[in-house]
Structure 1
Amino acid sequence: MRRAVLVVLLLAGVAVGCAQAPAVPATPRVAPPPAPAASSAGSSAPGGTVRVEVTFYAGADNDPPGSADIAYPNGRHQTAGGTGTWADPLTLASDPAELPVGTIVYLPRLQKYFVMEDDCEECIAEWKRDHHGHVDLWVSAATDPGVITCEEALTQDRPETIEINPPADRPVDPRPLHDAASGACWPHT
């Protein structure tokens, strides 16, 4: 085992040594512009799309159960919530190593914006294990069994495309994902 590590280290040293001394003078390069500073709204990385597993959660299966507590209270939300607009995105839970806290995403199927502000233990375990992308999206503070049925109805059997740091002008469906008063689930809310 030690011999294998020594060989790997020696090979790495040779590769680094070769990369440090080019045989021909390098052409001068213009340094890229500095990355913009991160805003309080989250990651400032340019928008893009990724395919991830999308699941849903509510007060009924939050941690602690029956609460709207979030791991990263902030100026936007002290507890899970939102309406799904750019100005008031719904709460999203994931692994902060996958999506930095404050990152805004857009889910085209639901026409809603979400913001990363909570931890999802299953998402964290999957990201650590094999970088499996997974987001858990807030439905409502409801704790009745009907909200669990709604979460299951909203969850697809395949990965979905989400847009990371989208522009503010995407279409938004104003209907809630779950209406606690009637027990209705999107799109029937």
Structure 2
Amino acid sequence: MSARTLLRTSSMIALTLVLITALGAMTAAHAASSQASANHKYVPSGDGKQKSVTTVVTWYGYNDNSGATENQHGSADIAYPKSDGYPTIHNHATEGTGTYNDPVTFAAPNKDLKTTFPIGSIIYVPLVKKYFVMEDQCGDTDPQGCQNGSNHADLWMGPAKEMNGTKLDDCEGNATPNSAVKVTINPSSTLSVDTTTMYTTGNKCTIHLY
């Protein structure tokens, strides 16, 4: 073996070791993240028992989410970020895959915080077969908005960035049921889940309603 071949072989071995080390670190980080999510304890609702409750369901996304004030729209801010010490998962509104360990953000009005939807609680929405975690305040005072119904869940969809306003609005509107639906509070972790993205970065409405 020539000196040049030996040098090239040694370089390839060194590069392989670097890649293996980097891959190992990434795998460990992902495992730690998944484990942390899997170990998350959601805040119980009511008596902590699983049951269905009749709920008015609406949708919101980045374009129509309030920022520092109710009139300032275009934001992924949430009222109860994990970084501020709340028993939540995210620091900004997030469309997760909708599994028990990767739920989507949802908002509720103040009137529901101490009863049906406390901060950090989780629900399962059969309408889309996804889990959602309560991390945001639904501040719309319109009687047909967040104050509509004895229970109200405003569900997040889409990326945490500006999207096509017309397409996102249409997707939110078409996904909003005409009357209250059943959602499950204190759900078990084994309910059927549709992990399909609801609204894509390419401005496509891909939500599946059941």
* TM-score, normalised by the number of residues in structure 2: 0.64
Given residue 69 of structure 1, which amino acid in structure 2 is its aligned partner? D
Counting matched residue pairs gives 150
Alpha-carbon offset, residue 125 of structure 1: 7.0
Counterparts of 1:72-151 in structure 2, within 5 Å, are 72-74=80-82, 76-81=89-94, 82-98=96-112, 99-122=117-140, 132-140=150-158, 141=160, 142-145=162-165, 146-151=167-172
Query: Does the 8 Å CA contact 2:139/2:146 hold for their aligned counterparts?
Result: no
Given residue 165 of structure 1, which amino acid in structure 2 is its aligned partner? N
Instruction: Pick the structure with more strand per residue.
Output: 1
Between the aligned partners of 2:203 and 2:125, the Cα distance in structure 1 is 24
Between the aligned partners of 2:61 and 2:78, the Cα distance in structure 1 is 11
Q: Cα–Cα, structure 1 residues 124 and 76, in superposed 2: closer, same or farther, change >3 Å?
A: farther
- Structure 2 alignment gaps of length 5 or more: 1-39, 68-72, 83-87
* TM-score, normalised by the number of residues in structure 1: 0.71
Q: Secondary structure at the match of 2:53?
A: strand
Runs of 4+ off more than 6 Å: 123-131
Q: Cα–Cα, structure 1 residues 165 and 138, in superposed 2: closer, same or farther, change >3 Å?
A: same
Match of 1:185 in 2: 206
C-alpha root-mean-square deviation of aligned residues, in Å? Answer: 2.6
Q: Percent identity?
A: 34
Between the aligned partners of 1:101 and 1:129, the Cα distance in structure 2 is 18
Query: Does the 8 Å CA contact 1:94/1:124 hold for their aligned counterparts?
Result: no
Q: Cα–Cα, structure 1 residues 175 and 129, in superposed 2: closer, same or farther, change >3 Å?
A: closer
Given residue 72 of structure 1, which amino acid in structure 2 is its aligned partner? Y
Q: Cα–Cα, structure 1 residues 152 and 124, in superposed 2: closer, same or farther, change >3 Å?
A: closer
Query: Does the 8 Å CA contact 2:199/2:207 hold for their aligned counterparts?
Result: yes
Match of 2:60 in 1: 57
